Amino acid sequence: KGEFIDDNPNGRHYHYWKNGKLKDDASWLMGQRHGKWIKYDSQGTPLIVISYRNGVELKYDGYSLEP
């Protein structure tokens, strides 16, 4: 769920797993990835943080998962 302007995603958007846990926390600026994107596993544990500016990937960080 999130805001759209002229059919382009804008601002924070959230996607959820079927179990209701957060799957993605994504930031958009007029249809381009912009800011931090955080991806979560099906239990809600953060897996990856990707930073974007105007659609260009700047940084990609993976979290260590416990066995």
Report the alpha-carbon angle 5-12-26, nearest 5: 115
67 or 13, which is more confident: 13
Q: What is the pLDDT of residues 2-28, one digit of tens each?
A: 899 999 999 999 999 999 999 999 999
- What's the pLDDT score for residue 62? 66
| Stretch 23-41: mean pLDDT | 94
- What's the pLDDT score for residue 3? 92
- Asked if residue 28 lies in contact with residue 36, where contact means CB atoms within 8 angstroms, the answer is no
Round to whole Å and give the CA distance between 49 and 55. 15
Q: Is the pLDDT of residue 67 over 80?
A: no
CATH for 2-62 is 2.20.110.10
Q: What is the pLDDT of residues 42-63, one digit of tens each?
A: 999 999 999 888 988 888 886 5
